[in-house]
Amino acid sequence: MSSVETYLNDHYSDALDDLKAFCRIPSVSTDPAYAHGIVAAASFVAARLKKAGFLEVQLLETGGHPAVYGELVANPNLPTYLVYGHYDVQPPDPLEKWKTPPFEPDERDGRLYARGVSDDKGPLLIPILVAEAFLRVEGRLPINLKILIEGEEESGSLHFEATLAKYRDRLACDLVISADGAMWRPDLPSMTVASRGMLALELEIVGASKDLHSGRHGGSAPNPIQALMRLLASVHDKNGRVVIEGFGDGISVPDPAILIAIKSAQFDAAAYYQEIGVEGEPPIADGVELLTRQWMEPTFEINGISGGYQGKGTKTVIPSSASAKITCRLVAGQKPDQVAMAIERHLRKELPKGYSLQVHRHGPGSEAFFVDPQLPALAAAETVLSELLGRPPLRVAMGATIPIGAAFKKHLGCEAFFFSFSTSDEDYHAPNEFFRLSNFKIGMIAWSRLLTALGQSD
């Protein structure tokens, strides 16, 4: 055990106190009623960075909630890494489902229960504590370190890209390491190396210029709900795969190791459907196919639909319009603009006579994110985890979208990868969020070894 690791072990009790203090601050970013919590959490992070020994510590003006910045850049010959995290948390509702109050951290069975403890207060505190240990024990870090902790991740990171652009010189680095993210499963070491991108659309179909009586006009007047059904039903084949021409152009596998992970994960499809409450025969019986669909294939998901009468009972109306909200998850190789064009072309081709169609796009969308499989830092992280956890981590993907990966690439021109010690089952967007304290400890050792390895490899 290195002396840094010994220091971390010896000071674990202080570290836990720090985490509890951090979790007592109700830093909910979506609700203005918690504005005081945001201010207090940003101050807490800044103070903790200063205490650890970080320099240039300050709150960065973002236009929204401030981001907190600090750095330990001592040697221009060493590579510079930027650590990312967020101090804001999800709302605690529904409050009545919490066993202990969300902002009064409670230790039970080796877990710490509190809102935000797993996402992302515990994981982001780790690299700060590790940097402090290096400074106390060795007087210096093995690498140059910058740290950026934002306060709007749980409310959509609305000002994040603008912040990266505004402070690009200060944030310049060789690689980003995100302390946000999560291990896939508690029993399986993994690193998330890919996530899907996103494209959001809204469709509106109009038939007649006003609502019509379905008795008098039924059979002759266009029914936009019917046209919408027809259009949307033409998007997928029987197995739920998108059949729009051009939709999947350019799709590639970002890292063959993900395919290996899918095969070796022994994913239990039946248990998955039971967990989400799907009755009867599972739509996809094979675990390998299921994970492939979630991780490696794009989707065209209808998130909402509305049209006509939606109250109680019946109304004999042919509505004038009907609409649908769509989000597509994109995989490596797909470009949001091209996908949007392919979709609109397909829908216009399928549109029956007597209707007009409007396709509205919500935002520019984002390409899929993936870590360069050859990245030396990724191999270093895998070695560290392999030693600590007893088996090499799988390289896994996730179905959801991580916008920060693309943002760092775009504005700082560098890669990013995820090195987080929360686990996806820790209820981080639900009541009774918790963080495994064993992972808090392991995380500190892992970060200290990773920083050491990164200092040697370069």
Q: Figure out which of the listed residues 212, 258, 385, 394 binds its own copies, where binding follows CB under 8 A.
A: 212
* Residue number with CB closer to its own copies (98 or 369): 369
Residue 81 bridge partners (DSSP):
145, 175
Q: Tell me how far, at minimum, the Cβ of 277 lies from its own copies, in Å.
A: 3
Residue 13 in the binding site for its own copies (CB under 8 A):
no
Residue 94 in the binding site for its own copies (CB under 8 A):
no
Piece of 34-42, 142-150, 318-326, 374-382 that binds its own copies (CB under 8 A): 318-326
Q: Tell me how far, at minimum, the Cβ of 367 lies from its own copies, in Å.
A: 14
For the chain, what is the radius of gyration of the CA atoms? 25
Piece of 6-14, 134-142, 307-315, 337-345 that binds its own copies (CB under 8 A): 307-315
Say which residue the tokens 């994109």 belong to: 330
Q: Tell me how far, at minimum, the Cβ of 308 lies from its own copies, in Å.
A: 4
Residue 236 in the binding site for its own copies (CB under 8 A):
yes
Q: Figure out which of the listed residues 38, 228, 347, 454 binds its own copies, where binding follows CB under 8 A.
A: 228
φ, ψ of residue 81 to 5 degrees: the values are: -115, 140
What single-letter amino acid sits at 148? L
Contacts of its own copies in 348-407 (CB under 8 A)? 352-354, 356, 362, 398-401
Label residue 253 exposed, middle or buried (CB < 10 Å: 0-12, 13-18, 19+).
Answer: middle
Residue 223 in the binding site for its own copies (CB under 8 A):
yes
- What does the alpha-carbon distance between residue 29 and residue 330 come to, in Å, rounded to a whole number? 28
Are the beta carbons of 146 and 179 closer than 8 angstroms?
Answer: no
φ, ψ of residue 341 to 5 degrees: the values are: -65, -40
* Residue number with CB closer to its own copies (82 or 242): 242
φ, ψ of residue 335 to 5 degrees: the values are: -110, 125
- What does the alpha-carbon distance between residue 3 and residue 94 come to, in Å, rounded to a whole number? 44
Q: Tell me how far, at minimum, the Cβ of 272 lies from its own copies, in Å.
A: 7
The C-alpha angle with vertex 422 and arms to 383 and 106, in degrees rounded to 5, equals: 135
* Residue number with CB closer to its own copies (143 or 331): 331
Are the beta carbons of 84 and 123 closer than 8 angstroms?
Answer: no
- What does the alpha-carbon distance between residue 195 and residue 399 come to, in Å, rounded to a whole number? 6
Q: Tell me how far, at minimum, the Cβ of 232 lies from its own copies, in Å.
A: 4
Q: Figure out which of the listed residues 13, 219, 374, 390 binds its own copies, where binding follows CB under 8 A.
A: 219
- What does the alpha-carbon distance between residue 67 and residue 149 come to, in Å, rounded to a whole number? 6
Residue 335 in the binding site for its own copies (CB under 8 A):
no
Q: Tell me how far, at minimum, the Cβ of 124 lies from its own copies, in Å.
A: 22
* Residue number with CB closer to its own copies (130 or 291): 291
* DSSP 8-state code for residue 185: B
Judged by DSSP in three states, 51 sits in helix
Contacts of its own copies in 258-297 (CB under 8 A)? 272-273, 276-284, 290-291, 293-294, 297
Asked whether the bond before 120 is cis by omega within 30 degrees of 0, the reply is yes
Piece of 110-118, 230-238, 383-391, 434-442 that binds its own copies (CB under 8 A): 230-238
CB atoms within 10 A of CB 363: 9
Per-residue b or e along 327-355, where b marks 16 or more CB atoms closer than 10 Å to that residue's CB: bbbbbbebebeebbebbbebbeebbeeeb
Residue 59 in the binding site for its own copies (CB under 8 A):
no
* Residue number with CB closer to its own copies (20 or 241): 241
Q: Tell me how far, at minimum, the Cβ of 154 lies from its own copies, in Å.
A: 14
Query: Site size for its own copies, by CB under 8 A?
Result: 80
- What does the alpha-carbon distance between residue 327 and residue 203 come to, in Å, rounded to a whole number? 11
Residue 97 in the binding site for its own copies (CB under 8 A):
no
Q: Figure out which of the listed residues 240, 250, 364, 413 binds its own copies, where binding follows CB under 8 A.
A: 240
Contacts of its own copies in 159-198 (CB under 8 A)? 196, 198
Q: Tell me how far, at minimum, the Cβ of 389 lies from its own copies, in Å.
A: 23
* Residue number with CB closer to its own copies (53 or 354): 354
- What does the alpha-carbon distance between residue 373 and residue 355 come to, in Å, rounded to a whole number? 48
* Residue number with CB closer to its own copies (42 or 402): 402
